[in-house]
A and B are shown apart, each in its own frame.
Chain A
Amino acid sequence: MTRTVPISLNVNGRPRTVDVAPNHTLLEVLREDLDLTGTKECCLVGECGACTVIVDGRSVDSCLMLAIEADGADVLTVEGLAADGRLSPLQAAFLDKGGVQCGFCIPGQIMSAHALLAENPHPSRAEVEEGIAGNLCRCGCYEQIFEAILATAEGVER
């Protein structure tokens, strides 16, 4: 039995304390200890982006970060985007533009897009392409995903 260590972190605006094993990734702790299963496990080598979450304002692959490294961090997952039962404008745009087919990659796509728009509210198409280059979609919805992100940027007050 691995010794566990208590860590404190803020997840989607809520302070949490969790006992984690050092060999558990942030992805495992989010899904298995905190029941936040919106973040998906897929390639486990940092190539697909399905596990993307935002840690201290920056997108990361949560499969490549130990949970214990997130001690003291602010973590935002896809569950933290909707407020009062209403989808965020970005989430709504993904539905409007038909960006979602099987849906498995979408939480990661949305978290990468959210981080991009927070940093750069009016990205060019090329900046959107680079911003989500770390998120693969096996359904091939890239065009609709780009449209959703660009439409969300258009809707932001200039």
Chain B
Amino acid sequence: MYAFAYERPATLAEALALLEAHGPDARLLAGGTDLIIRLRDGSARPAVVIDVKRIPELCGGIREEDGRLVIGASTVMTDIAADARVRRRFTALAEAASVVGSVQIRNRATLAGNICNASPAADTATPLLVYDATVVAAGPGGLRRIPIDDFFVRSGVTTLAPGEIVTAVELPFPDGPIGAAHTRRTRRRGHDLASVTLSCAVDATGRTRIAYGSVGPRPVLVVDESGILADPVAPAEAKAAVLETVFAGASPSPRSMRASPEYRLAMLRVLGARAIATALDRMARG
């Protein structure tokens, strides 16, 4: 690995000052499961690596605040997957966190890092979209809250401004009962990046939120207000017609090595139907 300088700020203010001083020459290091690979292969060559893992403002773990679950930026996938509140209230996020990489990766990879890396295949992106999460970012001008659907631009690019640091991800507790599920398709069991990711949440009013990824430059959220997808007695043809409009935003790349566009589009429909069925079943069970 080429030589770089390493900084380990002890406060958020110090981290922001370092980012300001080094500008584009700096990269933030959280779990490192993406960045260290890029430092080694030379696709990222920052002069300064800023390790944010010991900043108290990012280390708050998982806590409840004003009707929201707040996940500190340093929280790793293992802890998200194991948290009782996440499992009970944000089931699709717990499921997504539990399938990221391997045990070793989940012990290091953070939720904030997963979304900042902005891979179209990021497992946690789709549950955060269906749960209407908010990204909290600290910058020179103070704190800013970014709706997750406004956060992703394309692979590796977000709307985070230069000089900003994600401090937490917030999830509003749903008003009423909901059922949710996360599904994915990989080439093999175990440790693999997803060829298709899909999360779904249905609520008692019949509104269905579906988010899917790895089939275009960024994950896509679609909200179906028709009630047809959540209606257990709606005819299959009616549901299929709604799903066609839901998946209209998919544009898988023909250049990806993981799966062909045809396969991804076909699996999107399979995963969509499965996730809706699981979500409805979970809502019925309460």
| Interface pair B39/A23, CB less than 8 Å apart | yes
Residues 127-145 of A, flagged 1 when their CB comes within 8 A of B and 0 if not, give 0011111110000000000
Identify which of residues 1-28 in chain B touch chain A, using a CB-to-CB cut-off of 8 Å.
1-6, 8
Report how far A149 CA is from B40 CA in the complex, Å.
34
Among A25, A49, A68, A130, the residue within 8 A (CB) of B104 is A49
How far apart sit A23 and B5, CA to CA, in the bound complex (Å)? 8
Tell whether, in the assembled complex, residue B107 and residue A58 are in contact, meaning their CB atoms are under 8 Å apart: yes
In the complex with contacts A5-B6, A64-B32, A44-B40 CB distance below 8 A: yes
Q: How far is the CA of A129 from the CA of B32 in the complex (A)?
A: 25
Question: Is A22 part of the contact surface with B, judged by Cβ < 8 Å?
Answer: yes
Contacts known (A46-B101, A131-B103, A133-B102); A69 close to B51, Cβ less than 8 A: yes
| Given contact pairs A23-B3, A44-B40, A133-B191, A66 touches B103 in the complex (Cβ within 8 A) | no
* Residue A45 is within 8 A (CB to CB) of chain B in the complex: yes
- Tell me the B65-80 residues at the A interface (CB within 8 Å): 78
- Which residues in B have their C-beta under 8 angstroms from that of A2? 3
Known contacts A64-B37, A69-B51, A69-B53; is-contact A130 B3 (Cβ 8 Å) = no
Asked if B33 is at the interface of the complex by the 8 Å CB criterion, the answer is yes
Expressed in whole angstroms, the Cα–Cα distance for A134 and B99 within the complex equals 11
Within residues 1 to 57 of chain A, which ones have a CB less than 8 A from any CB in chain B?
Answer: 2-3, 5, 21-25, 44-47, 49, 52
* In the assembled complex, B190 has its CB within 8 A of some CB on chain A: yes
Q: By the criterion CB–CB under 8 Å, are A69 and B103 in contact?
A: no
A124 to chain B, nearest CB (A): 15
Taking a contact as CB atoms under 8 Å apart, the answer to whether A22 and B4 are in contact is: yes
Q: Are B105 and A21 in contact (CB under 8 A)?
A: no
B36 within 8 A of A: yes
A60: CB under 8 A from chain B?
A: yes
Interface residue A59 (Cβ < 8 Å from any Cβ of B): yes
Contact A134 B191 (CB under 8 A): yes
Chain A residues within 8 Å of B85, by CB: none
Given A2-B3, A23-B4, answer yes or no on A112-B36 (Cβ-Cβ < 8 Å): no
Q: When chains A and B are docked, how far (Å) is the Cα of A116 from the Cα of B103?
A: 9
**Distance in angstroms between the alpha carbons of A23 and B78 in the assembled complex:** 26
**Do A66 and B191 touch across chains, with their CB atoms under 8 A apart?**
no
B138 → chain A, closest Cβ, in Å?
Answer: 22
B108 within 8 A of partner (CB):
yes
Which residue on A lies nearest to B35, using beta carbons?
Answer: A64
Given A22-B6, A23-B1, A46 and B107 touching (CB < 8 A)? Answer: no
Residue A65, interface by CB 8 Å: yes
The answer on a CB contact under 8 Å between A46 and B103 is: no
List B contacts of A112 (CB < 8 A): 103-104
Contacts A45-B37, A115-B103, A133-B191 given; indicate if A65 touches B6 (C-beta within 8 A): no
CB-based contact A46/B6 at 8 Å: no
Q: How far is the CA of A22 from the CA of B108 in the complex (A)?
A: 18
B107 touches A59 (CB 8 A): yes
Q: Which residue of B lies closest to A136 (CB)?
A: B191
Q: Check if A60 sits within 8 Å of B107, measured CB to CB.
A: yes
B33 & A46 in contact (Cβ 8 Å cutoff): yes
Which residues on A sit within 8 Å (CB–CB) of B37? 44-46, 64
Q: In the complex, which residue of chain B has the Cβ closest to the Cβ of A24?
A: B1
Q: Which A-B residue pairs are the 3 nearest by beta carbons? A: A134-B102, A22-B6, A133-B190
Beyond A45-B37, A52-B104, 8 additional pairs, beta carbon < 8 A: A22-B6, A23-B3, A23-B4, A46-B33, A58-B107, A61-B104, A66-B49, A134-B101
A–B complex contacts, Cβ < 8 Å, 27 sampled: A2-B3, A21-B3, A22-B4, A23-B1, A25-B1, A46-B101, A46-B102, A47-B191, A49-B104, A58-B78, A58-B107, A61-B105, A64-B32, A64-B36, A65-B32, A65-B108, A66-B6, A66-B29, A66-B32, A68-B8, A69-B29, A69-B53, A112-B103, A132-B103, A133-B102, A133-B191, A134-B191
